[in-house]
């Protein structure tokens, strides 16, 4: 089969798959390459499923709000797949005055950017979610936040894009890119050579190594995050939940199981063994965190704990940008552990960058050349 | 063991079979037909099948259905069952109550 | 965090053997097992084991489990039961669920001996209550004393299907049929023979079409398959059963070693997804070893030896034994393992249909394709001789690694020789005392004492008998032949029980002399002769 396309996307996660979908809709011929065996085996399948606006860096708000207003509500329809999107709000809980101060600061940061998030009292929080511990004294509440199934959403974008003609090839590791006569053109894998006028690098942390070949760096580090999954339970609450001190975050899925993320404090130094592997102490820590706020869940059984690497951009928000000095190149990585909720909007906007249309959202804040020294 | 897997290659059309309604993953109640159809939706690896359908995500975490799913997927793809990459296993090996998991000793 | 020299996960035959071996060299060992009883698969095995003395032949499985535990404890091994190892993390750390806590332990070396679990075969109706694995039925019967059902169909003619099928009969269940899609019996002929002479019908080249019932199994439909494994519709047969047991192989439970990041492979000969390992139990993770079924499905006897090998590897890895001792011990263990891995059912011979035994005797094909040998087949093998007075008739016609019969006879009437897979032969020159030790010692229940001059016109046939209630002397019943057909009415003339027989009773019946070489089982009480 031909190795030439209109656009080559490096990275078969949700960013790559969503972008492939939007591009293919527009008649663009797309090849997606991923070094892993499976589509979406990175952060796309290793996140808490949050589709949220609250708690974000205000610079991200226009992009994610666009997605929640214009794409998420009918995404299942668009993709012909039930991706389990539930918009039932986001409660961020606090037990002490210090917690409430933190939540207030997060709230103020977002309201000034136009988000409908507010502080509420314990009584109101309990009305929204009756199983809360009595020790909760207040919360921030964003009614337009929600959650979805990241595994299904990623694979639904992939399925639809593939059905429309996008060509996905897994097991292909990209070693670097080549410019031909001033324009990025070639993708070198360890087996082959592919060519396109446009190349998108959406390969998470591995994007950094690939971009070296064309003299571009995205300042990123990696941290290992973990989550745990419970057995199915009767329906308890629909909201996305979190805490001021980030003891845990999570939601109950359509299936009935709970997915809870959390941290042990060692995320920046956790190591893996060739696969992202949970550390021996993290699940226990997350459980203690959950039970502080939901004692009702203490008898629920954990069936699985997983881990994944998050690509952390130096200033906390991703790079989603055309690269002026490498014509034809678009970079979309460094999602810093909260890429899922933004992904459909990112896919749309990146496809617009490729086809030269007006962008649905002002993307200046995400430019690749924004990183400046502190003094 | 990554080998190149072109998802646009022709694996033939989906044809309904007489035993499509037989349950394969009993924990999550997934049928043979659903698994076969998922392959034609583009799910070529056992990991993708698991994330797409939930086969192997129930209480027994795939101990009962794993081999059966592998055979069905391999047949649909026209490859040997042994060439399919095994799924990755994770703790806990058996379901554990949150309050027990929270109660650590000897750290 | 408490650190051991060696942690073994699994107190089955391989795990306990590994612990015993390592402890002998001075390692501080802990063994964790999720069950209440030690011994893994052993604790529900009520039949006598094969092999030779070094492989614990003639001893019943559950006894081997208890013996191993006692040996381990005597060596100072800490065996912690009701302890589920929930994870194997980096730096050789494990988490264990004990009572209501999660406990962390570390070790300088780890042996994963988590065994294997049953496979299943989906067919229409397989999710009805009453469909279960043969191992599950075995646990119900032998551990919990509960009959899995009343009328049972067994799918699978490998050793598990045959052995569990027999145990179902012993538990008082009726075995309506034994079914296998293969045209030949997968397990040892002697195991099949025990079932066939008890009247269990074999349906080889058959498969289950569907299980019937609304909220539980009330019946099952089977049909013959052609050489392309396609069902022949006209051959459908229906059985009223309440239980269907599946004995269709095991798959390693390798999840623990998988999560630790060991390199895995899919190896059909080993039973599926296994860690890549060598003959010394080494995996791709330094200091982490495997033994037993988790490394490749085989059986308990080989699992024990593999456990010892892994124990040596761990001890050597930690400097508890020197290179010379390590190599010498490996040699002994490998030679012991080799003896088991020979004969008709060895890995290299799997799938082959030999036309003769190793000695050159034409293969007993009826045994292979029907589940019982014919009189003609028995007569031409060295286990059968023409003698005056009582003498042993050994109906063991395949090369399997087993020799307790040789040791059993005080007069050395029975010979196997150095190679334990050799066919047993009876020495016509020696005189049999009629003590019956050989009958009781044969784990395959394939030895009979025949005396054609018992009385005028009558012969006596002494058979191994492991059913309750024991028939009484004087009881009248039917003598059945090897296929389970009634050949004549008969009277019980002797019932011998002795502690040294270890629960194999000797039942002697009196039959017309022309039935001496066909009468092989006794059915007493109200019994209607089967018409096949």
For residue A294, the domain's CATH number is: 3.30.9.10
In a domain, C292, yes or no: yes
Closest-CA residue to A262 (of A275, A274, A245, A276): A245
Closest-CA residue to C476 (of C521, C522, C531, C518): C522
Mean pLDDT (chain A) is 95
For residues A132 and A121, is the Cβ–Cβ distance under 8 A? no
**Of B5, B45, B61, which is closest to A303 when you measure between CB atoms?**
B61
pLDDT in tens, C241-251: 999 999 999 99
In a domain, A212, yes or no: yes
**What is the domain extent for residue C46?**
2-117+250-340
In a domain, C97, yes or no: yes
Is pLDDT above 90 for C125? Answer: yes
Chain C residues within 8 Å of chain A (Cβ atoms): 87, 89-90, 93, 95, 102, 104, 259-261
Is pLDDT above 50 for C530? Answer: no
For residues C46 and C17, is the Cβ–Cβ distance under 8 A? no
Q: What is the pLDDT of residue C532?
A: 38
Give yes or no: residues C388 and C514 share one domain: yes
Q: What is the pLDDT of residue C171?
A: 95
Residue A335, domain CATH: 3.50.50.60
Residue of C nearest to B29 (CA): C127
CA quadruple C186, C189, C194, C200: dihedral sign: positive
For residues A195 and A33, is the Cβ–Cβ distance under 8 A? no
In a domain, B6, yes or no: no
* DSSP per-residue string spanning C423-463: PPEE-TTSPP----HHHHH-TT--EEEEEEEEETTEEEEEE
In a domain, A61, yes or no: no
Task: Tally the domains of chain A.
Answer: 2
Domain ends where: C246, C274, C307?
Answer: C246
User: Would you state the structure tokens that stand for residue C473, as one six-digit string?
Assistant: 């002397």
Q: Determine whether the interchain pair B86/C258 forms a contact, defined as Cβ–Cβ distance below 8 Å.
A: yes
CA quadruple C323, C328, C332, C337: dihedral sign: positive
In a domain, C365, yes or no: no
In a domain, B93, yes or no: yes
User: Would you state the structure tokens that stand for residue C135, as one six-digit string?
Assistant: 């191992």
**Interface A-C: count of C-beta contacts within 8 A:** 23
Is pLDDT above 50 for C22? Answer: yes
Residue with tokens 């999560």: C259
pLDDT in tens, A128-142: 999 999 999 999 999
Give yes or no: residues A262 and A298 share one domain: yes
For residues A105 and A94, is the Cβ–Cβ distance under 8 A? no
Give yes or no: residues A228 and A292 share one domain: yes
What percentage of chain C exceeds 90 in pLDDT?
A: 88
For residues C432 and C392, is the Cβ–Cβ distance under 8 A? yes
**Measured distance CA(A61)–CA(B31) in Å, rounded:** 42
Maximum C-alpha span of chain C:
79
Give yes or no: residues C473 and C414 share one domain: yes
Give yes or no: residues C175 and C257 share one domain: no
Q: What is the pLDDT of residue B2?
A: 58
Give yes or no: residues C403 and C496 share one domain: yes
Domain ends where: A313, A333, A358?
Answer: A313
Closest-CA residue to A369 (of A329, A312, A309, A310): A329
Suggest the residue from B1, B27, B67 to mutate for an interface test with chain C (most C CBs closer than 10 A).
Answer: B67
User: Cα-flanking dihedrals φ and ψ of residue A48, to 5°?
Assistant: -85, 0
Residue C153, domain CATH: 3.50.50.60
- Where b means 16+ CB within 10 Å and e means fewer, A177-199 reads bebeeeebbbbbbeeeebbbebb
In a domain, B30, yes or no: yes
Residue of B nearest to C258 (CA): B89
* DSSP per-residue string spanning C480-509: E-TTS-EEEEEEEEEEE--GGGTT-EEEEE
In a domain, C306, yes or no: yes
In a domain, B63, yes or no: yes
pLDDT in tens, C497-526: 999 999 999 999 999 999 999 999 999 865
Q: Determine whether the interchain pair C260/A278 forms a contact, defined as Cβ–Cβ distance below 8 Å.
A: no
Task: Tally the domains of chain C.
Answer: 3
Give yes or no: residues C87 and C163 share one domain: no
Give yes or no: residues C98 and C16 share one domain: yes
User: Would you state the structure tokens that stand for residue A178, as one six-digit string?
Assistant: 């080549």
Query: Rounded to a whole number, what is the distance in Å from the CA of C275 to chain A's nearest CA?
Result: 15
In a domain, B59, yes or no: yes
Give yes or no: residues C125 and C111 share one domain: no
Confidence of residue A2 (pLDDT cuts 50, 70, 90): low
Residue B65 CB burial class (10 angstroms; 0-12, 13-18, ≥19): buried
CB contact B66 to C (< 8 Å): yes
CB contact A280 to C (< 8 Å): yes
Give yes or no: residues A309 and A163 share one domain: no
What percentage of chain C exceeds 70 in pLDDT?
A: 98
Give yes or no: residues C213 and C258 share one domain: no
Give yes or no: residues A192 and A235 share one domain: no
In a domain, A181, yes or no: yes
Domain ends where: C208, C224, C246?
Answer: C246
Peptide bond into A365 cis (omega under 30): no
For residues C452 and C516, is the Cβ–Cβ distance under 8 A? yes
Confidence of residue A307 (pLDDT cuts 50, 70, 90): very high
CB contact A279 to C (< 8 Å): yes
Q: Determine whether the interchain pair B98/A37 forms a contact, defined as Cβ–Cβ distance below 8 Å.
A: no
In a domain, A74, yes or no: no
**Measured distance CA(C171)–CA(C174) in Å, rounded:** 9
Task: Tally the domains of chain B.
Answer: 1
Q: What is the pLDDT of residue C52?
A: 87
Give yes or no: residues A214 and A324 share one domain: yes
pLDDT in tens, C3-13: 999 999 999 99
In a domain, C176, yes or no: yes
Q: Tell me which chain C residues have a C-beta less than 8 angstroms from the C-beta of B94.
A: 34, 84, 86, 97
In a domain, A115, yes or no: yes
Mean pLDDT of A148-172: 98
Query: Rounded to a whole number, what is the distance in Å from the CA of C516 to chain B's nearest CA?
Result: 48
Give yes or no: residues C143 and C176 share one domain: yes
CA quadruple B37, B43, B45, B48: dihedral sign: negative
Give yes or no: residues A19 and A161 share one domain: yes
Is pLDDT above 50 for A75? Answer: yes
Is pLDDT above 70 for C527? Answer: no
**What is the domain extent for residue B36?**
23-102
Give yes or no: residues A228 and A308 share one domain: yes
Is pLDDT above 90 for A371? Answer: yes
Q: Determine whether the interchain pair B91/A305 forms a contact, defined as Cβ–Cβ distance below 8 Å.
A: yes
Domain ends where: A295, A313, A331?
Answer: A313
The CA radius of gyration of chain A, in Å to the nearest whole number, is 21
**Measured distance CA(C376)–CA(A30) in Å, rounded:** 73
Closest-CA residue to A217 (of A371, A366, A70, A65): A371
Q: CA separation (Å) from A171 to A11, A36, A226, B3, C356?
A: 11, 5, 25, 5, 49
Q: What is the pLDDT of residue C531?
A: 41
In a domain, B58, yes or no: yes
* DSSP per-residue string spanning A159-219: HHHHHTT-EEEES--EEEEEEETTEEEEEEESS-EEEEEEEEE--GGGHHHHHHTTT----
Give yes or no: residues A212 and A233 share one domain: no
Is pLDDT above 60 for C426? Answer: yes
Q: Determine whether the interchain pair C261/A275 forms a contact, defined as Cβ–Cβ distance below 8 Å.
A: yes
Strands C93-98 and C101-112 come out as antiparallel
For residues C256 and C113, is the Cβ–Cβ distance under 8 A? no
Q: Tell me which chain C residues have a C-beta less than 8 angstroms from the C-beta of A279.
A: 89-90
Q: Tell me which chain C residues have a C-beta less than 8 angstroms from the C-beta of A271.
A: 90
**Of C97, C123, C266, which is closest to B96 when you measure between CB atoms?**
C97
pLDDT in tens, A259-298: 999 999 999 999 988 888 889 999 999 999 999 999 999 9
In a domain, B46, yes or no: yes
Maximum C-alpha span of chain A:
66
CA quadruple A240, A241, A247, A248: dihedral sign: negative
ipTM of the complex: 0.96
In a domain, C170, yes or no: yes
In a domain, A173, yes or no: yes
Q: What is the pLDDT of residue A247?
A: 86
Give yes or no: residues A125 and A201 share one domain: no
Residue C100 CB burial class (10 angstroms; 0-12, 13-18, ≥19): exposed
Q: CA separation (Å) from C259 to A247, A271, A280, C86?
A: 25, 14, 12, 11
For residues B8 and A159, is the Cβ–Cβ distance under 8 A? no
User: Would you state the structure tokens that stand for residue C410, as one six-digit string?
Assistant: 């005080």
User: Cα-flanking dihedrals φ and ψ of residue C234, to 5°?
Assistant: -70, -10
User: Would you state the structure tokens that stand for residue C60, as one six-digit string?
Assistant: 């019943």
HSE of C482, CA atoms in CB hemisphere, 13 A:
25
Give yes or no: residues C107 and C133 share one domain: no
For residues C261 and C136, is the Cβ–Cβ distance under 8 A? no
Window 409-468 of C: residues touching B by CB (8 A cutoff) are none
Give yes or no: residues A226 and A302 share one domain: yes
Residue C54 CB burial class (10 angstroms; 0-12, 13-18, ≥19): middle
Give yes or no: residues C384 and C497 share one domain: yes
Question: Which ranges constitute the DSSP H helices of C150-299?
Answer: 159-170, 189-197, 255-259
Confidence of residue A226 (pLDDT cuts 50, 70, 90): very high
Is pLDDT above 70 for A1? Answer: no
Confidence of residue C202 (pLDDT cuts 50, 70, 90): very high
**Measured distance CA(A188)–CA(A214) in Å, rounded:** 12
| Residues of chain B below pLDDT 70 | 1-2
The 3-state DSSP composition of chain C as helix, strand, coil percent (nearest 5) reads 30, 30, 40
Residues whose CB falls within 8 Å of the CB of residue A70, separated by 6 or more in sequence, listed in order = A345, A360
- The helix (run of H) or strand (run of E) holding residue C304 is helix C300-317
Rounded (10°) CA dihedral C32, C34, C35, C39:
-40
User: Would you state the structure tokens that stand for residue C451, as one six-digit string?
Assistant: 């005396």
HSE of C246, CA atoms in CB hemisphere, 13 A:
21
In a domain, B10, yes or no: no
- Residue C531 CB coordination number (10 Å): 6
Q: What is the pLDDT of residue C526?
A: 55
The answer, as to whether pTM is greater than 0.90, is: yes
Give yes or no: residues C150 and C66 share one domain: no
In a domain, C152, yes or no: yes
Mean pLDDT of C136-146: 94
Mean pLDDT (chain C) is 94
pLDDT in tens, A326-370: 999 999 999 999 999 999 999 999 999 999 999 999 999 999 999
In a domain, C347, yes or no: no
Residue B45, domain CATH: 1.10.10.1100
Residue with tokens 């996660």: A13
**What is the domain extent for residue A250?**
90-143+221-313
Residues whose CB falls within 8 Å of the CB of residue A88, separated by 6 or more in sequence, listed in order = A146, A238, A239, A240
């Amino acid at each position: 089969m031909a190795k030439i396309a209109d656009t080559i996307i490096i990275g078969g996660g949700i960013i790559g798959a969503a972008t492939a979908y939007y591009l293919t809709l527009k008649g663009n011929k797309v090849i997606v390459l991923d070094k892993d065996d499976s589509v979406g085996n990175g952060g796309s399948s290793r996140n808490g499923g949050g589709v949220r606006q609250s708690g974000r860096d205000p610079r991200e708000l226009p992009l994610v709000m666009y997605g929640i207003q214009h794409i998420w509500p009918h995404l299942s329809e668009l993709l012909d797949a039930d991706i389990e999107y539930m918009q039932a709000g986001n409660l961020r809980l606090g037990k002490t005055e210090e917690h409430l101060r933190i939540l207030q600061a997060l709230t103020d940061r977002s309201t000034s950017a136009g988000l409908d998030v507010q502080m509420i009292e314990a009584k109101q929080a309990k009305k929204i979610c009756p199983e809360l511990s009595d020790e909760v004294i207040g919360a921030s509440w964003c009614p337009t936040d929600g959650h979805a199934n990241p595994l299904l959403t990623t694979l639904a974008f992939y399925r639809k894009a593939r059905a429309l003609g996008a060509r996905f090839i897994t097991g292909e590791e990209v070693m670097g890119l080549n410019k031909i006569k001033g324009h990025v053109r070639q993708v070198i894998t360890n087996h082959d050579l592919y060519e396109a006028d446009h190349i998108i690098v959406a390969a998470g942390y591995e994007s950094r190594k690939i971009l070296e070949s064309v003299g571009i760096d995205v300042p990123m580090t990696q941290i290992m995050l973990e989550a745990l999954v419970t057995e199915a339970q009767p329906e308890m609450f629909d909201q996305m939940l979190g805490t001021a001190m980030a003891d845990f975050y999570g939601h109950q899925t359509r299936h009935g199981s709970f997915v809870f993320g959390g941290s042990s404090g060692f995320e920046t130094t956790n190591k893996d063994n060739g696969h992202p592997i949970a550390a021996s102490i993290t699940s226990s820590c997350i459980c203690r965190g959950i039970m502080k706020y939901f004692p009702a869940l203490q008898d629920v059984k954990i069936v699985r704990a997983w881990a994944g690497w998050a690509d952390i951009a130096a200033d906390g928000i991703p790079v989603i940008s055309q690269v002026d000095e490498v014509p034809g190149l678009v970079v979309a990585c460094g999602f810093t552990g909260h890429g899922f909720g933004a992904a459909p909007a990112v896919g749309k906007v990146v496809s617009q960058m490729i086809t030269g249309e007006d962008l649905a959202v002002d993307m200046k804040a995400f430019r690749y050349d924004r990183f400046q020294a502190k003094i | 063991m990554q080998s190149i897997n072109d998802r646009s290659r022709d694996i033939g059309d989906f044809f309904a079979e007489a035993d499509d309604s037989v349950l394969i993953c009993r924990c999550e109640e997934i049928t043979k037909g659903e698994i076969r159809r998922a392959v034609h939706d583009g799910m070529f690896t056992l990991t993708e099948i698991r994330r797409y359908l939930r086969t192997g995500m129930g209480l027994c975490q795939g101990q009962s259905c794993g081999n059966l799913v592998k055979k069905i997927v391999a047949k649909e793809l026209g490859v040997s069952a042994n060439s399919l990459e095994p799924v990755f296993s994770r703790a806990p090996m058996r379901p554990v109550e949150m309050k027990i998991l929270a109660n650590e000793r000897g750290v | 965090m408490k650190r051991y020299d060696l942690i073994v996960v699994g107190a089955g035959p391989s795990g306990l053997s590994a612990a015993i071996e390592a402890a002998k060299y001075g390692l501080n060992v802990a063994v964790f097992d999720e069950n209440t009883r030690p011994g893994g698969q052993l604790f529900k095995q009520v039949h006598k084991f094969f092999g030779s003395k070094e492989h614990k032949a003639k001893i019943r499985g559950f006894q081997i489990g208890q013996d191993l535990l006692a040996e381990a404890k005597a060596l100072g091994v800490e065996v912690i039961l009701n302890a589920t190892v929930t994870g194997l993390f980096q730096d050789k750390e494990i988490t264990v669920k004990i009572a209501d806590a999660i406990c962390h332990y570390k070790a300088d070396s780890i042996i994963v001996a988590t065994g294997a679990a049953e496979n299943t075969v989906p067919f229409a109706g397989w999710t009805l209550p009453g469909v279960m694995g043969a191992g599950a039925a075995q646990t119900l019967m032998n551990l919990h004393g509960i009959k899995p059902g009343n009328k049972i169909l067994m799918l699978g003619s490998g050793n598990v299907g045959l052995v569990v099928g027999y145990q179902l009969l012993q538990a008082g269940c009726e075995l309506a049929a034994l079914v296998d899609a293969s045209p030949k019996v997968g397990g040892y002929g002697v195991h099949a023979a025990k079932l066939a002479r008890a009247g269990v019908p074999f349906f080889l080249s058959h498969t289950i079409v569907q299980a019937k019932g609304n909220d539980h199994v009330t019946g099952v439909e089977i049909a013959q398959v052609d050489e392309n494994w396609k069902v022949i519709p006209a051959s459908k047969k229906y059985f009223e059963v309440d239980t269907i047991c599946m004995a269709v192989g095991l798959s390693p439970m390798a999840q623990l070693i998988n999560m630790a990041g060991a390199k895995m492979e899919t190896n059909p000969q080993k039973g599926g997804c296994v860690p890549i390992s060598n003959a010394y139990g080494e995996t791709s993770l330094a200091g982490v070893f495997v033994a037993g079924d988790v490394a490749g499905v085989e059986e308990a006897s080989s699992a024990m030896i593999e456990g010892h090998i892994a124990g040596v590897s761990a001890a050597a890895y930690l400097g508890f034994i020197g290179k010379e001792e390590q190599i010498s011990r490996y040699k002994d263990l490998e030679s012991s393992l080799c003896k088991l891995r020979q004969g008709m059912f060895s890995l290299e011979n799997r799938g082959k249909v030999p036309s003769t035994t190793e000695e050159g005797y034409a293969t007993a094909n009826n045994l292979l394709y029907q589940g019982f040998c014919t009189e003609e087949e028995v007569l031409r093998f060295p286990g059968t001789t023409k003698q005056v007075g009582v003498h042993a008739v050994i109906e063991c016609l395949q090369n399997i690694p087993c020799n307790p019969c040789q040791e059993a006879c005080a007069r050395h009437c029975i010979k196997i020789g150095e190679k334990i897979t050799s066919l047993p032969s009876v020495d016509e020159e020696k005189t049999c005392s009629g003590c019956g030790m050989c009958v009781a010692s044969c784990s395959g229940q394939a030895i009979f004492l025949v005396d054609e001059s018992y009385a005028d016109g009558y012969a006596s046939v002494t058979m191994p008998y492991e059913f309750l209630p024991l028939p009484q002397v004087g009881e009248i019943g039917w003598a059945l032949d090897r296929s389970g057909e009634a050949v004549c009415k008969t009277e019980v003339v002797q019932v011998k029980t002795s502690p040294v027989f270890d629960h194999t009773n000797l039942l002697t019946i009196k039959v017309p002399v022309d039935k001496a070489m066909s009468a092989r089982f006794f059915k007493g009480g109200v019994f209607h002769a089967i018409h096949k």
